[in-house]
Chain A
């Protein structure tokens, strides 16, 4: 099996300041890779740099599209935009960053569908309902504006909006960040189900080790912009080798 995404020696600097340095990642179809570390460790810079939100200074990002490997940093802007609309998806920590608040819930979900050329109103409407159902939002809310939704509903709507075109790679930055724990559990359950049903490949950033343990197959631990340890998720959490990972794991409060 070929990795669907591989990142080699990626660097991103802000002036002299390190954003992330020497980062590598391999993501296979159906796999979830978690990126953890304290705030300021470069997690968000890394995920933004590999998803097209930021332009890295150097490195290689290879995306397998089915028939060829594309070097994401060397393709034309228009092809990049097309990929971002179709094969890639980005779920923001704050759903308001990923949704259009002055467009109805249904309109938000249909945006990616229309951008890949779907025009039949009936079909689009049907797909919207299917996805509202998948993310457990009542059909009757389809024409409501997102600003009337609760935080948890907004996050689920953002997930539906992103997954509707069956993207191959999903990037998530703290998808359960600002949510209370009962809503967080619901989103985690939803994400796990979708990953299995749709064979999604996911890169997820979180500072919450418990979230990563439940979702991720592999893990990258970042500190000061670099990966200090990476590998199988439960191995790194159960038997951390680097002193920083040991500190991180032992700092988690037990409930």
Chain B
């Protein structure tokens, strides 16, 4: 369960004339277990910002964010680190990895946090990579030289290899062809059926309909715009 209560978020750009940008005012949102919420609204309205606040990347000035009843509180970074380890998964738009680390190890990493059986984890990573049509020949290569679509699928594999109770998806299907898009969407549906609370940004209507997502127009739930 993900809950946002009365969130206010602003950016203060100290070095650009102390410009204040109010992004959200009195933002309220709730995502239940086994539900997918799709954020909609024009570019720049703050869709990614919501995901980043939930994941703890962005601070907010007032209000409350609760993940399975745990507060996101930046005064206690240790708690956010624990939440990320155990409860919140995040598939970002772009892959950020150490150069020269093989694809298979990148995918295995989140699972190794909770399972130290290398062979078992490797098997699971291979399974999901196969499912996502990442050819075996690529597994021992760094994904940095892969195509955009391949990188995205590696990112998805890494994000979905575990069953997180809460899942944040930032355009997980943006640069995929229709076959691979359906594969990713099916994986997301599996997570929903397992009871994850899922919130995401999906640019195409096809994905949102396929996932039977509850669509939320951000401009309608925050007073800031």
Q: Which residues of A contact B (CB under 8 A)?
A: 26, 28, 31, 181-182, 185-186, 188-189, 192, 196, 213-214, 217-218, 231-232, 234-235, 238-239, 241-243, 246-247, 250
Contacts and interface: CB of A to CB of B under 8 A. Distances in A.
A26 B113 CA distance: 21
Interface of B: 11-15, 52, 56-59, 74, 77-78, 80-81, 96, 98-101, 109, 112-113
B121 to A, nearest CB: 12
Counting chain B CB atoms within 10 Å of each CB, the highest count among A196, A214, A218, A235 belongs to A235
Contacts of B99: 181-182, 185
Given A232-B81, A235-B58, A239-B58, A214 B13 contact: no
Contacts of B13: 246
30 contacts: A181-B99, A185-B98, A185-B99, A185-B100, A189-B98, A196-B112, A214-B98, A218-B81, A232-B74, A232-B80, A232-B81, A234-B56, A234-B57, A235-B56, A235-B57, A235-B58, A235-B59, A235-B74, A235-B80, A238-B52, A238-B57, A238-B58, A239-B58, A239-B59, A241-B12, A246-B13, A246-B14, A246-B15, A247-B14, A250-B15
Contacts of B77: 217-218, 231-232, 235
Contacts of B98: 185, 188-189, 192, 214
Nearest to A230: B77
Dominant SS among interface residues on chain B: loop
B56 A189 contact: no
Contacts of A242: 14
A192 B112 CA distance: 13
B37 to A, nearest CB: 22
A189 B101 contact: yes
Contacts of A192: 98
A31 B81 contact: yes
Contact of B100 (A189, A232, A235): A189
B72 to A, nearest CB: 10
Counting chain B CB atoms within 10 Å of each CB, the highest count among A192, A196, A231 belongs to A231
Nearest to B113: A196
Contact of A28 (B78, B96, B100, B101): B78
A247 B14 CA distance: 9
A153 to B, nearest CB: 16
Given A188-B98, A235-B77, A250-B15, 11 more contacts: A186-B100, A192-B98, A196-B113, A217-B77, A231-B77, A232-B56, A235-B56, A235-B74, A238-B58, A239-B57, A246-B13
Counting chain A CB atoms within 10 Å of each CB, the highest count among B58, B78, B112 belongs to B78
B96 to A, nearest CB: 8
A213 B57 CA distance: 12
Contacts of B56: 232, 234-235
Contacts of A238: 52, 57-58
Contact of B15 (A231, A241, A243): A243
A231 B57 CA distance: 11
Contacts of A185: 98-100
A224 to B, nearest CB: 17
Contacts of A232: 56-57, 74, 77, 80-81
A242 B15 CA distance: 10
Counting chain B CB atoms within 10 Å of each CB, the highest count among A188, A196, A234, A239 belongs to A239
Nearest to A247: B15
B199 to A, nearest CB: 18
Nearest to A191: B98
Nearest to B53: A239
